[in-house]
Structure formats: structure tokens, C-alpha cells
Structure 1
Amino acid sequence: MVAEAGLEADMTSTKTTGSTSDHPPAQGPENTQEIEYMQQDCKKNKMKGESNKTVPFYKLFSFADSWDCLLMVVGAISAVGNGISMPLMTILIGDAIDAFGGNVDNKQAVVHQVSKASLKFASIGAGAFFAAFLQVACWVITGERQAARIRGLYLKAILRQDISFFDKDTNSGEVVGRMSGDTVLIQEAMGEKVGKFIQYVACFFGGTVIAFIKGWLLSLALLSSLPLLVLSGSVMSFAFAKMASRGQTAYSEAATVVERTIGSIRTVASFTGEKQAIAQYNQYLIKAYRVGVQEGVAGGFGFGLVRLFIYCTYALAVWFGGKMVLEKGYTGGQVISIFFAVLTGSMSLGQASPSLTAFAAGQAAAFKMFETIKRQPDIDAYDTGGRLLDDISGDIELKEVCFSYPSRPDEQIFNGFSISIPSGTTAALVGQSGSGKSTVISLIERFYDPQAGEVLIDGINLREFQLKWIRQKIGLVSQEPVLFACSIKENIAYGKDGATDEEIRAAAELANAAKFIDKFPHGLDTMVGEHGIQLSGGQKQRISIARAILKDPRILLLDEATSALDAESERVVQETLDRIMINRTTVIVAHRLSTIRNADVIAVIHHGKVIEKGTHAELTKDPDGAFSQLIRLQKIKRESDQYDANESGKPENFVDSERQLSQRLSFPQSFSLESSGRGIDSQRSFKISNAMPTSPDLFETSEGGPEVLPSAASNKPQEVSLLRIAYLNKPEIPVLLLGTVAAAATGAILPTVGLLLSHMINTFFEPADELRKDSKFWALIFVVLSVAAFIFIPLRSYLFAVAGSKLIKRIRLMCFEKIIQMEIGWFDKAENSSGALGARLSTDAASIRTLVGDALGLLVQDISTAITALVIAFDANWQLSLIVLVLVPLVLLNGNLQMKSMQGFSTNAKVCSLMISNYKLLA
């Protein structure tokens, strides 16, 4: 700024001891971009250090209540019952096989023994049904309950934190990402996955015990593959945990880009920064794509390894089982019973691997959230301790204050700063940008505490007061009015808990806002849009003033309240401020010096020191004084700006007239605490977008009637055809075709195993010579099958991971490109807020991946399994196959009942985004 540069040059003789900046100086677009990239690099390094941090598993249940404990106990017992049902059936399978093989010539005996086994099968099935129902119901319910509680506690903890937490540790995009994404991972880790894990563990131990009872020697031989299964599962779990953290980091960074871009969409559009935002978003999507492919490779390799060991166990069973029949007198049914008991137990460990993966992802996701929940801020908004008085008179004094922002501890703003403001007076703070004016406001509001010195109100240290109570006595009107995406009445009501309609109406009238509010069709119930975009700058500021005075504060803080307004809006708002400052202690941070002529005292601050103090008349008497220099330099700058405006060939009044033609054509302006020297946040606080200030009559038609605001109602979204989604995956068609072949081959393996098992069972009832020869042959076949599974499963997983990850990357990028190219009015709708759109890009796009990711690969695999099984079954015995097919509808119904899609948290994310982005207002 010219004025600032001139003042700096003329004050070189002034001795200073503090830093020259209250906040970072205004940067040009290139410098701002460079600073943002540097901040992102620092954040990346920090996240790398945090990516390996997890919480202990039992800590996930820290917020369970007594009902949750009961549900978990019942669910655990039911899971154990459900788990041991399968090993119990292996006993009946062995008995049935002995009945078939040992009574070939006695059909009546076969029917009698098989009938008894069938009744036992039905009894176990009924018991397993009730156990499985209780298991799933209890764990799903408690998972939902605890996840909802964690989300609430996390948001409460976020709102409890002091401003320094937001300066250094987080931002709104990260909070929204954790609310909508990480809580899902935590819920999976302590919900149904726990029940499944207990079920599989119970199945393993049940199968092992039954196998050793039936024949310890064969069981011991078959269990030799167990360490390999455990090792492969552990390696896969570790790999998944590491990549899950990396994936969370990538998507969290991408969510931050979305939040920042959409939240400042007018600034992005005005500076044509769409390409830069898209490129930055694409960088994080590429990183997430790589992590997704790596997850597919790790998962496929892990599951392929499990199948390799399982089918090798089949080979061992047929060969060593034959030896047991020949040498130890085992029956065929006994061998099969032992084999299936060990197999069921071993397979349960493989099936437990996804649960371990979910546990690892949940533990990683919970670390940051739980750390935030446990964090005790130095300035606690929920602390009920402290002094409560009947009222305050409003005397303010800053005594020998030393202060630097927590995010920049090496830059000292104040070093022995002192100022006294008597009750009922109006004090104006002026000075160049970065001199420390807004920092005074922050200290009085107790957004920060000084490192040394005292901030006193009525002679009492500000730290001694109950924070909530003293803030109720202080009203703040900032440069940029902050409005939430709700009605005017609700926005004003934020100023006081339990405010009545009469109080809200009175505040609106006192703030000179009632006239334009009454012109709206819905009056106080008019929706203002996100960040109040439906209103002009002057209208928003008057609503902000009404909110500030609703609680009738004794101290009023005006932080450049009119600097962002045009001349007409400034005049109306200044009249409003003059009315409400009566009988209140008022501290004004002034931008336009003409607005503080009537101040009782004016303090000129330079480099964190008061270098001049007095009334307007007293300070202007000295033509060489700092205040007089500020006036002259501001006049020079105003004349320079007017000259530039004239040179542009487009007068200001023409711009105002053009702006009134359409709200959508209003030139955008953004207030960013990253780049503004006037903000009271640090360089890492959040951005708030608003339309360029317009005249108070923006919403009046040419006839003088009020213009109807756009409706926020949204239509039900249309479903997109699978062909359209598949078209987006067109570049990956070769990959999908190869993946389909691999999935089909993988699916054909399981029915083939069933066919080989029938030959294996027959082998145990053959004569000794044939048994010895055939057992070796079928063992070799199983080894070949295990190698095939180890090849096709990782190949299928990798290929579909590539296709799925590319689809989600492409859709996210296309959606983001389309979003930031939408007309500005589109963002006014409640469902198109920055938080909701960020959550939609995160969760909805991830849901689409299932169409061509692992789910599609499993679908192809299952279809291949079904076709191969039907061919084998009908070739063996079509009558029995038809009878078994009768049960297929029941299986499909069961699967349909289990497919409950998890509800998204876009609404929660939108509310959360608004709260975090405007945290100072809520404080």
C-alpha cells in the first residue's frame, strides 16, 4: 500500500522492538501460491509422521456406554455360537460319509443313518440362524451408536478448542474429511467386523478341538500349514494398515483443496484460478490412485497366498489321509471329518483377514480424532470455572503485554504494549497494516492469551472471568460479515442463547436492518444462502451488527467493520454503528480515517507500540505527526485509485449499476486470512467468500418490490445407467477384459475343488493298492490347483484395482472440474455448500468404485463359480441338483437383506464445515 510504504519511510527514526507484522503482509497471487505450497509441504511431512500412529484396539471402545457393553457381550456370545456351528457340522459330514461308504449293500441302513444326520443338521442350522441374527444385529447397532457418539464428541471437541489449534493443527477440510470418512472406518473397526472376527476365531478353535478329538496325528499334520496362513494374514494386515493411512492422508489433502476452492469460489473465478485448483486436486488424486492400486496388489497377493496354503493342505490331506486309512485304521468319514474341521478352522483365519484390515484402518483413523477429543485447550470455551459478576462497566486496559502468534512464535507482535480505554468511551486504533491493531481485538476477545502482561476488564484479569460469560458481554463486528446458510432470524439468534422473536426483531431495528428485511417475501425467515450470498455487503453487515447487539454487550469491538463496503453501504452501516455505540465501550480498528472523527480517543499504533494518542482535533494539529501523515497518504492513495478507475474507462457508478442488474454478475471478492494483513486469525485460518458489496437496494426490482430469493429446494437425484458409468471406464476396457478372464478363472477353481473332493472321498473307500496310487495323484492335482489360484487371484485383484481406481480418479476430477465451472448462483443452494460437495466427492465417488473395483471382480468370479458349479452338478445328478436349487431364492433373499448401504454424512459435513470455518463467530 502507498500509504503504508510512505508511513514506513517517514517513521524510520521511530525505535521499535517488536515484529513489523501483526499478520502476514498481503501477497500477490504468485507469492500466495508459493506460500500455500510451502504450507502444504510442511503438512505432508507432518502427516507422514502421523501416518504410522494408531490407537490400541481396545481404545476404540472408549466411548461405549452400558447398553453398548451389553450389546457387545450378547453379540460376542452369539458370534461364538455361530462360529462353532460349522465345525460341529463336520462331525455330521463324517458320519454321513461313513454311512454312504460303509453300507453300500444296505440301503435301508443308509437311509436311517442319513435321516438322523439330516435332523441334526437342521437343528444346528436353526441354532446358527438365531446366533447369527443376534451377532450381526448387536454389533451393527453398537457400532452405529458408538460411531455417532464419536462424531458428536469430535465436533464438540473441535468447537471447544482455542484459536491456536486451528492456526497450527487442522483446517475445515480435514475436519470434514474425518467426520465423513474416518468415522466410517472406525465404525467398521468396532462394529460388525468385530462380530465376524470373533465368529471366525471361534470357528478356528472349534474346528481344531474337533479335529484333535477325531484323530490327533492327522490333525497335527494338517495344522502344519497354520503358521504360514497366520504369517500371510499378518503381512497383508500390516500392508493394508500402512496403505490405509496413506490413503486417508491423500483423501484428506484432496478434501482440503475442495473445501478451500469451493469456499472461495468467487475468488477462484475472478482470478481464473480454476486450472490451478484442478491441477492441485489432480495431484492428490494421482497419489490416491497409486495407493488404491497398491491396496489391490497387497490384497490379491494376500488372498492368493491364503488359497495357496489351503489347497496345499487339501493335497496333504488326501495323501496323508490315505496313509492313515492304510496304517492307522482311520475310516473315510473320520478322515473327511478331520480334514473339514481343520479346513474350516484354517479358512476362518483367512476370512478373518478383512476384519484385521478393518481394525488396522480404524485404529489409524481413530488416532487423530481421539487425540483431538482428549485435547485440553489452554483457553477452554466449555470451562464453567471463573468469576461471574452482575455486570461490567467496560473499562479496558492492556498492561505491558508481550504477544506472538502460536503459529509464528518467533515473530513478536507486542513487546510491552499498553493502552487504557475508559468505560463508555470510543477508542479508535489506526496504523499501517500489520501494526497490531487487530491483535488488540483478539486479546480483548480472549482468542489468545498474552505470553506476558495482562488484559484487564474493570481492573480484573481477563483470565479470571468465566470465558463464556465475559464473551457474552463483548460484541464483535468484523470486516467480513459471517452468515450461515440458514434464515436471517436464525443468523441473528446466534448472538444470544434462547433469544425471543421480540428481541431478534428489536435487534434488527436497532441495526437498521428491519426495513430491507421486511421487503423480502419471507421476512426474517428468508434464507440467506451459504456465507449470506443472497444479500448485499451492507445488508450482511447490518445483520451481523444485529447479532452482535442482540446480547446487549457492554463492550463493542469493530474490526474494520465498514472497510469492505462501497460508499453507500458504508454510510448506512456507519449510521447504524453510531446508534449502537452510545453508552458502550467501543474499540474501533479503523481503515477509513474519516469514520473516526467523533472517537473520544485515537491511538496510532506502529510496530506494536502506541506512538500517538489523542482526539481527532488534537492529532491533526501536528502536521508532522503520524496521524496527519496517515491522513495525507490515504488521500493520495484515494486520488490514485480514482485516477486508475477513470483510466479504465468504466466509472464506478457504471459498475454499481451493472452489478445491480444481476446478482450473478456481481464481481466476487474473498476475504482470506492467509493473505490479508487485516485479519485477526493467523496465516492458516479459513477463507470466507462473499459477493462484492452492493447497494442496499440490490434485491429490489425496478418497481420497488422485493425480488424473490431462489429456492433452496432440490430435486431427487436421477439414477445414472450402468452403461454411462461403464463408458467412463472405456480407456480401461483391455484391463477389464483381462481382469474378467482372471476373475472367471478364479471363480471356476472353487467348484473344481468340489469335484476333486468327491474323487478324494471315493479314494478312501478303494482297495489298498488303488488307494495308495490315487491318493498321490489327487494330491498332485490339488498342488497344481493351488498354484493356479495363487496366480489368478492377485492378477484379478490388481487389474480391477487399476480399473476401479482410475474410474474414481476420473469421476472425482470430472465432478470437481464441473463444480468449479458452475454459475455462482448454483453454490447458493444449501445442498451445494462446500462441506456437502466435499463429502459427496469423497463418499459418492468411492461408492461408484465398487461398480468396477473389487465388487465387480467378485461378481464376475461368483458368476463363474455358479455356472461352473451348475455344470458339474447337473452332469453328476440333475435331480439332486434341482432339489438343492430350491434353496437358492432363500440365499438370495438373505444376501439382499444384508446389503445395507451405509448412510453418508454429507449433512453432518456441511454443518461441520460451517461451524469450523466460522469458529470465531461461534466463540
Structure 2
Amino acid sequence: MATTSNGDAEAEKSSKIDGEEKTQTVPLLKLFSFADSTDVALMIVGTVGAIANGLGMPLMTILFGQMINSFGNNQSNNTDIVSIISKVSLKFVYLAVGIGCAALLQVTCWMVTGARQAARIRGLYLKTILRQDVSFFDKETNTGEVIGRMSGDTVLIQDAMGEKVGKFIQLISTFFGGFIIAFVRGWLLTIVLCSAIPLLVMAGAFVAMIISKMASRGQSAYGKAANVVEQTIGSIKTVASFTGEKQAITNYKKFLVDAYKSGVHEGLAAGIGFGTVMLVVFCTYSLAVYFGTKLTLEEKHTYSGGQVMNVIIAVLTASMSLGQASPCLSAFAAGRAAAFKMFETIERKPKIDAFDKSGKVLDDIHGDIELRDVYFSYPTRPDEPIFNGFSLNITSGTTAALVGESGSGKSTVISLIERFYDPQVGEVLIDNINIKEFQLKWIRGKIGLVSQEPVLFASSIKANIAYGKDGATIEEIRAATELANAAKFIDKLPQGLDTMVGEHGTQMSGGQKQRIAIARAILKDPRILLLDEATSALDAESEKIVQEALDRIMVNRTTVIVAHRLSTVRNADMIAVIHRGKMVEKGTHLISIVLPYYSFTCRANIMYT
């Protein structure tokens, strides 16, 4: 484990230069890796429309040349000129109708497929986030980053594989169409004007490179800023009590300054690139007019005025299309940078997969629990072992209390039974079957967890309780509130079960939140009940009420209690004292001796097994 961690650390260090992260991107084609058959059809139709739309401008130069030649034909009378101009004008109308239809197909198809694929990426990203193991959230991501990627980065990705792709294909079509027509109408003048192309390409490449780098830095800074906001708003009472508003604003501004600097550099690069493109284009205008006039006046060349203007406008239109492609290249660069982390997460295969359908599914479990010779350390602290050969056996239908100093490993036992983590060595067994062999969703459905700080969602009491079981009926919810000793206070509320609990349950007291959490856990009728210091944060009166609720629901279940209070463990069938990752004492009921390894003085009689 230590070796792996050190390797990751070295990889992370190697990805930085002078304290700044390297720009990491995905190939452009990979952006479309989540397209389905409908999206492919839309992209094909949109591409055809974009090519046709792009050819509109080069074709227009031919008509423009015909119009100039008709004006300059002295041998024709006025009637002939009007007839020729009328025909050219009609051709302009036909061209306008064709370009209009092509533009409609181009924009519609590419915008629709971009929106479809971006929505699919959002859904896959959220699904992948939810299927990850707990260690992923410990060390690799945070709430603000996830929200920032789903709200901001997907917009950049959608832009990079939607309308901008159609626009880019249109401009490339204009580029090649313009030069093909220019070479056909006057190859010598076209070759001379081609001297401007290398400068245009160099300017575009410079802009794309700088913008890609700056966009990646800006996205990282905005993600960190969003995390500051999420933490501040989510803990607003703590921030207010410690008058930390100024500190929160300072931290937020610090990341905004980084994003601002990236935006300034990006804007400067785009401005220099666009300015260079315009400089080259207008210099090319000058060269084209001079050399075109010279070719027209020389008798050895049969260039008419219409041909010269046709070539000049076709070449400049084609060249301008490269300059106009700069925003598209910027969008591609930003989208590729934004997609890197999202696609990396989507492709990540967790070791503990909550969506994995394989594994054993039994009719039911008895609830025997055994931790056999377990060696474990948390992924974020691989060099600090929690358990070194830890073993524990809990018989079905009994209540086991885990006591000991803070940091001794009590809550780790809960995490291993829930399979939030897997031990590096050893086994966690339920009914003498390794927990890894069970289907994860099924086995977690047989386990109920009530933690010290119950998490409630910003919805009604009924919705929070119903979260414990899919398709729960109102009768089952009411029965759960009765068992959790929560029915009395809920019935006194004006809206009863429909009462909103507020953000993170702020509208409920500590005891009320805990009883709602107990009702949620008991709703699925678990065979194993895990209580991780479920009453430690409550006052004496609330603790008494909650403890009564716990005593009700622990009947005929295997219950594991992590506690620091004597009142919580006094009715346990077995008490295990954990000290520095080892079980040092194990007994049955409380009588009269001091536990030297416990975090407070407690009188008990240890019946050794």
C-alpha cells in the first residue's frame, strides 16, 4: 500500500512544473465516444449541411466574377447586360436558398447532438461518482469539484462537440472550396496569394496552444472556488459563530484571482492571434490587388477583371475562414481540457462497485459477524495501520458494544462491516461467508446504519424516512416512526410527515434528527444494525428518548454499538474493549471493575471468553 501511495505521489509531482500542473487533455475524437446511433446520424446530416454551407461563399465568388465581367463587356448593349445580370441575380437567389437549407441542417443537427451527448455525459458522470468506493471520496474528489464539473465543464464539452464542430467543418469547407475555385480560375495569382497561409496557420496554432493551457488552469481555479462556497454555505452557522465571513471571502477571492489571471492571459493570446490574422489578411489584399492588376495588363496572360476579382475574393475568403476558425479551436481546446477529469472518472473502475450485479443473493441472513485476522489501514494514510491481526466474533441476534479511546478503531469496524473499505489482509464474514462474495447492494440492504451525525436531505420527513427502502408505503413509514419513538413529535408538527427538515436537517433538533435517522434505518428491517455513537451528541433527555427507541429496534437483530457512554452499553450482551487496533478485553455484563483501556472510568465485570 505504501509503495502504491508513494508511486501516486511521485506521479503527481512529475505532473507539475514550477508548481503548476501540466495541461491534460483528451483527443478530440474521444469527446464523441458516448454518441449513440441517433447522434451519429445527426452528425452525418449536420456535416453534409456544414460542407454545403461552407461551399456557399466560394461559389458566390464565381457569380461575383461573372457579374463584373458583364459590366466590363463593352461589346454588349444595355439589353444584353441587363439579361446577363438578371440571370446572375437569379443564381444568387438559388444559392441563397441552398445555403439557407444547409445552414438550417448544420446548426440544428450539431446543436441537438451536442446537447444530447452532454446530457449523457452528465448522467454517466453522476452515475460513476455514485458507484465509486468511499476511498475515492477520501482522497480524489470533493463536493465543489463534482458540482463544478457537472455545471461548468459539461457546458465547455457541449460547446466543443456541438455547434462549434459544425462551424469548423463549414470553415474548412470554405477554405478548400475557395482554393479549388481559385486554382481553377487563375492558378498563378493563387500561388502568389498562398504566401499568406503559413502565417495564418502559425497564428492559429499559437492561439490554440495558449488558450488550452489557460483554460485548464481557469477550470481548476473555479473548481476550488466552488468548493469554498459549498463548504461555507453548508456550514453557515459555524462560519457565523466564528465570524469567518471575511476569511471565506478572502479564500474565494484568492481562487478567483487565479482564474482571472488565466482569463487575462487567454484573452491576450486570443487578441494577439486574431490581430495577427487580420494583419496578414489585409496585407494580402494589398498584394492581390497589385499583382492581379499587373496580370490583367500584361498581354501574355489572359486574365479578365472578373477572373482576378474571383481569385482574390476566393483566396481571401478561404484565408479568412482560417482566422474565423480560431474561436472553434479555442472551444475544442477548452472542451478537451474539461473532459479529461470527467472522462477519467467515468472510466474509473472501483474496487468496491455499488452497481455490480454479480455476487451471492440469499433468501435472508442470520446475522453472524466475524472479523478474522484483519490488517487494515486507510487509503489516505497507508503508513498508519489501524488493525494488525484484529479478530472479532459477534453471534446472530446479540448486541455487541465496542468501547475504547478515540482513534482506537471502533468506527473502522463499522466501515468494514458496511464494506465501505476492504481489509488489506484478512476477512470480514457474515454467516461465515466472505462479505466480498455477496452482491454489494443486497448485503447493504440487510444492514442498517445510524451514525453520530445523522444526514438528512433538504426534503420532507416522509421523504427522508422513505429513503431507507425503495417503494416504501405510508403504513411502513408510520410503523418505522413508531418504533423509532418519533411519531409523537412528528404528529405535533403542523404538517406532520410532510414537514420540511431544512438544509441538512437544520429545522430539527439533534434528538429529532436522530430519531428520523433511526426510522430510516429500521424501515428496511435490517438483520444487522450498526450504531456508531448514535447518542453521543445528545443531551441527557434526548439521549433517554433515543435510547428507548434503540432498545426497541435492537430486538432479534445483530447489533453493533460504538459508544463512549456507560448508559449506551449497559444492556449489551458482549462488550469488547479496543485499544490501538487490538481487542484487549471482552466480556458480558457490567458489574464492578475499572477498564484501564477505556476513555473514561467505568465499572464493569469482564467475563473472559
Shorter-normalised TM range: over 0.9
Name the counterpart of 1:415: 388
Q: In structure 2, what residue type is equivalent to 1:90?
A: T
User: Please, which of 518, 521, 546 is the counterpart of residue 491 of structure 2?
Assistant: 518
Is the partner of 2:386 in helix, strand or coil? strand
- Find the aligned partners of 2:220 and 2:75 in 1 and give their Cα distance: 64
- Find the aligned partners of 1:396 and 1:48 in 2 and give their Cα distance: 48
Is the partner of 1:613 in helix, strand or coil? strand
- Find the aligned partners of 1:501 and 1:624 in 2 and give their Cα distance: 46
Does residue 495 of structure 1 match 2:506? no
1:612 and 1:627 in contact (8 A); partners too: no
Shift of 1:490: 1.1
Name the counterpart of 1:607: 580
Q: In structure 2, what residue type is equivalent to 1:592?
A: R
Name the counterpart of 2:337: 364
- Find the aligned partners of 1:340 and 1:222 in 2 and give their Cα distance: 11
Name the counterpart of 2:3: none
User: Please, which of 512, 515, 521 is the counterpart of residue 548 of structure 1?
Assistant: 521
Name the counterpart of 1:173: 144
Shift of 1:629: 5.5
- Find the aligned partners of 2:453 and 2:441 in 1 and give their Cα distance: 23
Q: Which runs of 4+ in 1 moved over 3 A?
A: 41-51, 103-106, 623-630
Shift of 1:42: 9.1
5 Å matches for 1:711-790? none
Name the counterpart of 1:150: 121
- Find the aligned partners of 2:17 and 2:276 in 1 and give their Cα distance: 35
Q: In structure 1, what residue type is equivalent to 2:580?
A: H
Is the partner of 1:603 in helix, strand or coil? strand
Task: Map Cα deviations across residues 843-873 of structure 1 (whole Å, 9 max, x no partner).
Answer: xxxxxxxxxxxxxxxxxxxxxxxxxxxxxxx
User: Please, which of 421, 428, 434 is the counterpart of residue 401 of structure 2?
Assistant: 428
5 Å matches for 1:365-764? 365-617=338-590, 620-623=591-594, 625-627=596-598, 630-631=601-602
Name the counterpart of 2:231: 260
- Find the aligned partners of 1:48 and 1:313 in 2 and give their Cα distance: 43
Shift of 1:108: 2.6
Shift of 1:186: 0.3
Is the partner of 1:481 in helix, strand or coil? coil
Name the counterpart of 2:38: 67
Task: Map Cα deviations across residues 590-630 of structure 1 (whole Å, 9 max, x no partner).
Answer: 0222221111111111100111111342xx53336434953
Task: Map Cα deviations across residues 564-585 of structure 1 (whole Å, 9 max, x no partner).
Answer: 1122211111110010001111
Task: Map Cα deviations across residues 155-182 of structure 1 (whole Å, 9 max, x no partner).
Answer: 0000000001011110111000000000
User: Please, which of 162, 172, 194 is the counterpart of residue 133 of structure 2?
Assistant: 162
Task: Map Cα deviations across residues 875-919 of structure 1 (whole Å, 9 max, x no partner).
Answer: xxxxxxxxxxxxxxxxxxxxxxxxxxxxxxxxxxxxxxxxxxxxx
Task: Map Cα deviations across residues 58-78 of structure 1 (whole Å, 9 max, x no partner).
Answer: 110111111100000000000
Name the counterpart of 2:281: 310
2:402 and 2:562 in contact (8 A); partners too: yes
Is the partner of 2:560 in helix, strand or coil? strand
Task: Map Cα deviations across residues 506-550 of structure 1 (whole Å, 9 max, x no partner).
Answer: 111111111221222222122211111111111111111111011
Q: In structure 1, what residue type is equivalent to 2:597?
A: A
Q: Structure 1's 155 and 568: CA in aligned 2 closer, same or farther, altered over 3 A?
A: same
- Find the aligned partners of 2:341 and 2:599 in 1 and give their Cα distance: 52
Name the counterpart of 2:167: 196
Worse overlay, 563-572 or 541-550: 563-572
Q: Structure 1's 130 and 471: CA in aligned 2 closer, same or farther, altered over 3 A?
A: same
User: Please, which of 300, 306, 315 is the counterpart of residue 333 of structure 1?
Assistant: 306
1:75 and 1:135 in contact (8 A); partners too: yes
Q: In structure 1, what residue type is equivalent to 2:522?
A: I
Name the counterpart of 1:797: none
User: Please, which of 229, 241, 254 is the counterpart of residue 283 of structure 1?
Assistant: 254
Is the partner of 2:593 in helix, strand or coil? coil
Is the partner of 1:524 in helix, strand or coil? helix
1:47 and 1:249 in contact (8 A); partners too: no
1:51 and 1:249 in contact (8 A); partners too: no
| Structure holding more helix per residue | 1
Does residue 129 of structure 1 match 2:107? no
Does residue 101 of structure 1 match 2:72? yes
- Find the aligned partners of 2:340 and 2:231 in 1 and give their Cα distance: 24
Q: Structure 1's 47 and 77: CA in aligned 2 closer, same or farther, altered over 3 A?
A: farther
Shift of 1:275: 1.7
Is the partner of 1:405 in helix, strand or coil? coil
Name the counterpart of 1:907: none
Task: Map Cα deviations across residues 649-674 of structure 1 (whole Å, 9 max, x no partner).
Answer: xxxxxxxxxxxxxxxxxxxxxxxxxx
Shift of 1:43: 13
Q: Structure 1's 624 and 225: CA in aligned 2 closer, same or farther, altered over 3 A?
A: closer
- Find the aligned partners of 1:177 and 1:43 in 2 and give their Cα distance: 26
User: Please, which of 328, 333, 350 is the counterpart of residue 355 of structure 1?
Assistant: 328
Shift of 1:553: 0.2
Shift of 1:148: 0.3
1:622 and 1:628 in contact (8 A); partners too: no
Q: Which runs of 5+ in 1 are unaligned?
A: 1-40, 633-923
Name the counterpart of 2:189: 218
- Find the aligned partners of 1:625 and 1:162 in 2 and give their Cα distance: 36
Shift of 1:353: 1.2
Q: Structure 1's 152 and 49: CA in aligned 2 closer, same or farther, altered over 3 A?
A: farther
Q: Structure 1's 572 and 413: CA in aligned 2 closer, same or farther, altered over 3 A?
A: same
Q: Structure 1's 291 and 588: CA in aligned 2 closer, same or farther, altered over 3 A?
A: same
- Find the aligned partners of 1:57 and 1:291 in 2 and give their Cα distance: 22
- Find the aligned partners of 1:555 and 1:43 in 2 and give their Cα distance: 46
Q: In structure 1, what residue type is equivalent to 2:296?
A: V
Q: In structure 2, what residue type is equivalent to 1:129?
A: G
Q: In structure 2, what residue type is equivalent to 1:269?
A: A
- Find the aligned partners of 2:595 and 2:409 in 1 and give their Cα distance: 22
Q: In structure 2, what residue type is equivalent to 1:322?
A: T
- Find the aligned partners of 2:434 and 2:492 in 1 and give their Cα distance: 46
- Find the aligned partners of 2:17 and 2:413 in 1 and give their Cα distance: 31
The aligned length equals 590
Q: In structure 2, what residue type is equivalent to 1:149?
A: R
Q: In structure 1, what residue type is equivalent to 2:493?
A: F
Shift of 1:46: 11
Is the partner of 1:630 in helix, strand or coil? coil
- Find the aligned partners of 1:133 and 1:531 in 2 and give their Cα distance: 48
Q: In structure 2, what residue type is equivalent to 1:245?
A: S
1:401 and 1:452 in contact (8 A); partners too: yes
- Find the aligned partners of 1:570 and 1:223 in 2 and give their Cα distance: 84
Is the partner of 1:434 in helix, strand or coil? coil
Q: In structure 2, what residue type is equivalent to 1:135?
A: Q
Q: In structure 1, what residue type is equivalent to 2:48?
A: I
Name the counterpart of 1:749: none
Q: In structure 2, what residue type is equivalent to 1:210?
A: I
Which of structures 1 and 2 has the larger relative contact order (alpha carbons within 8 angstroms, sep 6+)? 1
Is the partner of 2:97 in helix, strand or coil? helix
Identity of aligned residues (%): 70
- Find the aligned partners of 1:412 and 1:285 in 2 and give their Cα distance: 39
Shift of 1:101: 2.5
Tell me the C-alpha RMSD between the 2 structures.
1.8
2:125 and 2:345 in contact (8 A); partners too: yes
1:197 and 1:355 in contact (8 A); partners too: yes
Q: In structure 2, what residue type is equivalent to 1:524?
A: L
Q: Which runs of 5+ in 2 are unaligned?
A: 1-11, 604-609
